[in-house]
Amino acid sequence: MMEGAHATPTWTTRRALMAASPALALASGWSGSARAARPITLGLTPVFLDSDIVLVRQIEAYLSRRLGRTVQVVKRRTYREISALLIAGQLDAAWICGFPFVQHREALSLVAAPLYRGASLYRSYVIVRRDRRAESLADLSGDIHAFSDPDSNSGFLVTSAALAARGETAAGFFARSFFTYGHRNVIRAVASGLAQSGSVDGYVWDVMAELEPALVRATRILRTSEPMGFPPIAASRQTEPSIIAATKAAFLGMDRSTIGQEILATLRLDGFAPVAPSQFDSIAALWRQVREAG
């Protein structure tokens, strides 16, 4: 959303991947030349660890080892950029948000979803500064509000739907709003006073409370959404089925290898699990609510 009005949607989301296992490589004739084949590409969007080069290299190493073929992580600034590459088949897979998935589910196949605190669910938070005297969304009328990304469920859609239920739009309810293109940046904007309130991924806020407690302590949660489907790993329907199957096996088995356990520990995740499209029905309902409200 742009200043004082709706921003032109620009996409930013989380991460993605793809590849084929050594067994599949042999079965499909790759054998010794497998590593000479084009890299399998996994898209990642900006989240709280976007700048962690070590983590990116660990993900590439783990997937390349499991899939018997070079895996290359591709990062972009917005959810839309990653989603566009994925839909066009220029990425094999990506870690995306549930909102882009419901918008483009006909072009995508679900691979797996993270397990966070034992379930593939997370929440959206509306946050304010800790000393702010506000008790409900209604108290934020006239705020400068920080959103994460126009194609983020937790960082935009949930709050927009809550306002639509009140007969409001973000453009009319807030004095001004802007996109930070990163959930950690929403926390920073509110903590510093650049924004008076913000919409943020609850998983990111919770983990940042552990990693950067001084920053997060400057904010507090004003509103918590119902649980929704955690941002999934999705593949392009143009990706070879064998690559999708091998990538799924790699993610589902991440908790059973040393490097995989290190990745999960860094991300504060329990592992990955199979996921069905119905997991994102509540997000689709929010999208319909916002569209119908105009």
Q: Give the predicted TM-score (pTM) of the model.
A: 0.85
Q: Say whether pLDDT at 32 is over 70.
A: no
Per-residue pLDDT at 35: 43
Q: Which of 176, 183, 196 shows the shortest CA–CA distance to 149? A: 183
Per-residue pLDDT at 36: 52
Across the range 277-289, mean pLDDT stands at 97
Strands laid side by side in the 144-147 sheet: 176-179, 144-147, 197-201, 124-129, 219-224
Across the range 102-121, mean pLDDT stands at 97
pLDDT tens digits for 261-278?
A: 999 999 999 999 999 999
Complete domains list, the chain, with CATH: 22-117+231-276 (3.40.190.10), 121-228 (3.40.190.10)
Per-residue pLDDT at 226: 97
pLDDT tens digits for 183-231?
A: 999 999 999 999 999 999 999 999 999 999 999 999 999 999 999 999 9
Residue 203's φ and ψ, nearest 5 degrees, are -60, -45
Residue 13's φ and ψ, nearest 5 degrees, are -155, -160
Give the integer Cα–Cα distance in Å for 52 and 50.
Answer: 6
**Residue 233 class from Cβ within 10 Å (0-12 exposed, 13-18 middle, 19+ buried)?**
buried
pLDDT tens digits for 122-165?
A: 999 999 999 999 999 999 999 999 999 999 999 999 999 999 99
Per-residue pLDDT at 52: 76
Of all residues in the chain, the percent with pLDDT exceeding 70 is 86
In whole angstroms, how large is the CA radius of gyration of the chain? Answer: 19
Per-residue pLDDT at 71: 97
**Residue 107 class from Cβ within 10 Å (0-12 exposed, 13-18 middle, 19+ buried)?**
middle
Q: Say whether pLDDT at 4 is over 50.
A: no
Give the integer Cα–Cα distance in Å for 189 and 62.
Answer: 34
- Local structure of 160: helix, strand or coil: helix
Q: Say whether pLDDT at 81 is over 70.
A: yes
The sign one gets for the Cα dihedral 128, 147, 199, 13 is negative
